[in-house]
Structure 1
């Protein structure tokens, strides 16, 4: 009976994590409409992505350990409430300001969910196969972004009220998840001291600290490219691939997000270190293919190479997270996940901000090339670390 309760709680937390990111991606296929109908500039669109990341990082730094004090359930329900509140701003969007406020709230919800719900997932990890928790934690956000992006793109093209219908569905999903979480099993005993925990804490346990430098490079390189696809997916579909369809914009965004679960599944069958270096090499090669496809405006090649990059991304993220969280105690997990996601969000936000500034002077292809350079540098770091570790082992 306890195992069934743990399995139900794991499912509820996993669905809630994915759903939080579903909410955060529904607006992305609408960026083209916001640009043409409401005169929201590319700079303002990129700024909306940046404030999304700022909200996520702020939540991670300020509230990363809150679930240790007020409980996983309360923290998770708060994340869903903030996600629901963000929807209000999109239902009546007529300028850049509601977009920016809504994206800020969505980032805050995702940041809070990233620690509370992922820690809750690990708390119930024994109820499911060993590889599943790491796969959900590493690819759950991308799965949610994919579902929300593609679903919203289809609704924009074929549903009534294209600018609102997707958000009404998302609100229903949030309500469903809230009901499931109410029935789920709490794993933390509430205790005093919650105000003291609001002070940012970057302390990592020794095992996570050793793995962090290399893992951080992979988080930055992979999440940065995801941020680029999020901010400039519609622009790439229009300018480089010559399509104004909202579905095409959603598919461009989803092409790198959706396949990540395949990479996560593959990474679950190898050590974290192997998944990390093998995934990073594959990711960089695939990004090179994306750049070539963009340069010749070939949609089919672009989609194939983006899918390959997404698979590699899932592999490297799962491997890197595994190197940092394996063997941690329950109360250590929120802090470690806070650091992981804070680095990931900052790694996505800064390049996106720079790309937004450069979008008025450089083509999207030139901007995309910068992400290829970033991936190449991260791969060098991973390989040099592997060579060093192999040398140390052989000298013993």
Structure 2
């Protein structure tokens, strides 16, 4: 592998773009799924199996190899994973049946699960102690930005470009090849450490300092990524089947509305106390899905998309605030493991309800299933709202500094002991 040729600052940008690209590749198939249904004559249950395989295999990767880069270094783990995602794009570009889709998405899921924690930890490594807050911000903003770019970009290609079931994957394969070169030129701040084989045992590893904040952040992870699963798994089908919009760009806009507003919300709240950001996010996860389902009840496209935009506030603030609160407690040598734990919970919320909804939709109808799904997100938001309000009453005002920044107060105890 070539000797690193970039500075840590340039490497930070390259790793950020790679993380966004990886997430974009995960959301890109969503606007393509309705095309498969039309061309192959398969129902939503078959497409849901494809969605389920991706989420399940990704979780297996997170539970086994999610912290491997803490022992082998970031660069070799990320490079191997990117090769896997690139190959999966080539497999998907040649898919002509559900079995091939399942194989391609399984490879993509395992490769993504291998890389996503390592990339997030790499950002923290490259940022250094002076820019920890920036790295935490990017870790929270890159996933919704990638989801938006993948969903909207694929929707545009499917609608206007030739080869709707092939071109999207070929474009992503080309971008992943560029990302491989970028990763090869980025400095690796983590050397080899013992325990690589032991780390492969399927277990979620959380250091003691992160367990309390992680538990308190669960509603943020569950609600925000549950909402993401609703949009990616059922969004295009809802737009076409309930609202009667058969334009593939409209399906991509559902993903882009939620994820795009989520990314902007993360940026706008980057200097705010994480607890207040979480409170904003939980409120968005309560109000947004209610307005979204109201739009379906009224068959109103403007109301539906207004609900999607409000949901985006919940998605961005809920995930960003929760992630910042947890990452601020993670020791440097255990960051990949902590991020893997975060994504295990997030992708469970992302995949499991969407899979259940896909199997129930042919029997109960799409509208009732979406209503029930949205209700689960609202419940998670309400639980998080109660938790964050109670936590805010217990914590003194002066302890509300951002993770990664030094407090001006003379109280040197960790935040988790005073929360």
- TM bucket, shorter chain: over 0.9
| Alpha-carbon contact 1:277-1:379 (below 8 Å) kept | no
**Which of these residues, 331, 334, 337, is aligned with residue 333 of structure 2?**
331
- Deviation string 1:94-134 (CA, Å, 9 cap, x unpaired) is 11111112122222222122211000011122498554322
Distance 1:390 1:148 in 2: 36
Distance 2:352 2:28 in 1: 22
The residue aligned with 2:64 is 62
**Which of these residues, 40, 64, 81, is aligned with residue 42 of structure 2?**
40
- By how many angstroms is 1:327 displaced? 4.0
**Which of these residues, 382, 385, 393, is aligned with residue 383 of structure 1?**
385
| Alpha-carbon contact 1:40-1:95 (below 8 Å) kept | no
TM-score (norm 2): 0.89
The residue aligned with 2:89 is 87
Distance 2:199 2:132 in 1: 31
Runs of 4+ in 1 over 4 A off after TM superposition: 127-131, 390-394
| Alpha-carbon contact 2:220-2:281 (below 8 Å) kept | no
Distance 1:344 1:313 in 2: 12
Measured on the aligned residues, the alpha-carbon RMSD in Å equals 2.2
The residue aligned with 2:307 is 305
- By how many angstroms is 1:253 displaced? 2.2
Give the length in aligned residue pairs: 395
Residues 1-396 of structure 1: pairs in structure 2 closer than 5 A: 5-126=7-128, 131-390=133-392, 392=394
Task: In structure 2, list runs of 5 or more residues that go unmatched.
Answer: 397-418
Distance 1:32 1:24 in 2: 16
| Alpha-carbon contact 2:90-2:173 (below 8 Å) kept | no
Task: In structure 1, list runs of 5 or more residues that go unmatched.
Answer: none
Name the SS of the counterpart of 2:196 in structure 1: coil
- By how many angstroms is 1:361 displaced? 1.7
- By how many angstroms is 1:354 displaced? 1.4
- By how many angstroms is 1:391 displaced? 5.3
- By how many angstroms is 1:382 displaced? 2.3
| Alpha-carbon contact 1:138-1:318 (below 8 Å) kept | yes
| Alpha-carbon contact 2:223-2:285 (below 8 Å) kept | no
Distance 2:223 2:366 in 1: 18
- Deviation string 1:225-244 (CA, Å, 9 cap, x unpaired) is 21121121221121111121
- Deviation string 1:241-282 (CA, Å, 9 cap, x unpaired) is 112111111112222112111111123121111111121112
Name the SS of the counterpart of 1:258 in structure 2: helix
Distance 2:389 2:131 in 1: 32
Distance 2:143 2:131 in 1: 20
Distance 1:39 1:138 in 2: 38
- Deviation string 1:50-85 (CA, Å, 9 cap, x unpaired) is 111112111110101110121100111112111111
- Deviation string 1:3-45 (CA, Å, 9 cap, x unpaired) is x711111111111111112222222111111001012320011
